[in-house]
Chain A
Amino acid sequence: MSQPAIAVEGLSKRFGKRAAVDGLAFEVPTGGVCGFLGRNGAGKTTAIRMLMNLTDPSAGRALLLGLDARRDHTELMARVGYVAEVPILYDWMTVREMVRFTARFYRTWNGAAVDALLERFGIDQRQKVRHLSRGTHAQLALALAMGHDPELLILDEPATGLDVLVRRDFLESIIQIIQQEGRTVLFSSHLVHEVERVADQIVVIDQGRLLVSSRLDDLKQQAGQSLEDIFISLVGGGRGTEVHQ
C-alpha cells in the first residue's frame, strides 16, 4: 500500500472541559473519496480545521500527503485544496476578480481548469460575487479550490444548503476531480445519501470520537444493511430521546 493521503493520529481538541475531538485516528488511502460522516456538532468541522492548520490540536497530529499539517503547512497549502463550510469570498468583487485574487496566492495556477469548471457550472465571470445564489457561491468556492491542481481536496459540508439538482452537479464534479489518477477527496457531511453515492471509504465520528473507518463496500457487506441503517445504529444509541433534543 502506498502512503495514505491522510493519516490522523490521536487527534484531540478541547474547548475548556469539553472535548470537541477526542483521540481521533484514521487513514484515508490515496486516490479515493472519503466520506466523513457525523451528526451536526459531532466534531467534523473542528477535525477538518486541524487538518488545515486553522486551529491547533490539544493533542495528536495529522499528516497530509506524508507531511505534518502544522510544521509543513506552507508546502501543504500548495498541494491541498480546501472549501470551508462557509466559504469566505469577497462580495464586492466580480467572479473574474475573485479568481485573479485567489490565483496570486499560488505559485502555479491552472486558469484553464478553473475557467472550464466555471463554465460547466454556468457561472458568468462578470457577475458580482454578491449576486450569486448559495449554490453558485459553493461552486465558485470549489472551482477556486481546484485552481492550483491540488492532490488532496478537503471539503467541509460542501453540498449543504444546495438544492437537489445543484447537489448532483456538485457530486458530478467530485467524480470528475478524482478521475485524475492519484487524487484524493475527503468531504464531510451529515447527509448519508450524499456520501453513499460517491464515497468509497467512510469515516464516522460522534461526540468527537471515531466510530467506524472502513471501505463502504466492506461495511455494507458485513452489516447487510444500508448505510443509513448502519449510521443510525451507530450514532443513535439513545434514539428517541436524543433525536428530538
Chain B
Amino acid sequence: MVQLKLDPASPIPMYLQIVEQVRRAVASAALNADDEMPSVRALASGYLINPNTVARAYLELEREGLLTKRRGAGTYVAHEAAGLREGQRTRIVTGLIDKAVGAAREFGWTNEQVRKAVEARLDETKMERKR
C-alpha cells in the first residue's frame, strides 16, 4: 500500500492531498491495476481524518477513472489506470514546468534562456546520477 503524507494544516484541502498522492502513485506505477485500496473507514481511522473527506477523494478518483468500486468487495485501482498513466505523468510534469516557466517569465527571461537552463539541469542531473 502507498504511504500517504497528509497534512491537515496545509492550505491544500485534505481530499485533494489524497487525490494528488494517489494520482502520483498511479503515475509512478507504485499503484497498479487491481491493487486493492484501503477502505474509507480504514483510511479515516488510520490517518485520524474524517471519513467524509476520504469518501470525497475516492469519488473524485473514481470519476477520473483511476479507481473503481467493486460491489461488496471494496475499492481497486482500475484496469484503465495503466492507460491513464502516461496522461497522469504528462499532467504532473507539465504542472511543474509551468511553475518554473512562470518564475522565468516573471524575471523576464527569454525562451532561449529557459531552454538553456533546462538543458543545463538535464546534463547536470545526468552526471549526478552516474556518480
Give the B-binding residues of A (Cβ under 8 A): 31-33, 168, 171-172, 175-176, 178-179, 193, 196-200, 216-218, 220-221, 223-229
Contact = CB atoms under 8 A, between A and B. Distances in A.
B48 A171 contact: yes
A217 B13 contact: yes
A198 B48 contact: yes
Contacts of B45: 172, 175-176, 179
Interface of B: 8-16, 41, 44-45, 48-53, 56
A196 B8 contact: yes
10 smallest A-B Cβ distances: which pairs? A217-B13, A197-B8, A200-B52, A220-B13, A196-B8, A226-B11, A200-B50, A225-B11, A198-B50, A217-B15
A221 B45 CA distance: 24
Contacts of A171: 48
Contacts of A200: 50, 52-53
B52 A32 contact: yes
B14 A179 contact: no
Given A217-B16, A217-B56, A221-B16, A175 B50 contact: yes
Provide the main secondary structure of the chain A interface: helix
Of the candidates B44, B48, B50, the one having the most CB atoms from chain A within 10 angstroms of its own CB is: B50
Contacts of A221: 13, 16
A223 B53 CA distance: 18
Contacts of B15: 217
A126 to B, nearest CB: 29
B95 to A, nearest CB: 16
28 contacts: A32-B50, A33-B52, A171-B48, A175-B45, A175-B49, A175-B51, A176-B45, A178-B51, A179-B44, A179-B45, A196-B8, A196-B9, A197-B48, A197-B49, A197-B50, A198-B49, A198-B50, A199-B50, A200-B50, A216-B13, A217-B15, A217-B16, A218-B13, A220-B11, A223-B11, A225-B11, A226-B9, A227-B9
B9 A217 contact: no
A198 B53 CA distance: 9
Contacts of A193: 8-9
Given A171-B48, A179-B45, 12 more contacts: A31-B52, A33-B50, A175-B48, A176-B45, A178-B50, A178-B51, A198-B48, A217-B16, A223-B11, A225-B11, A227-B9, A229-B11
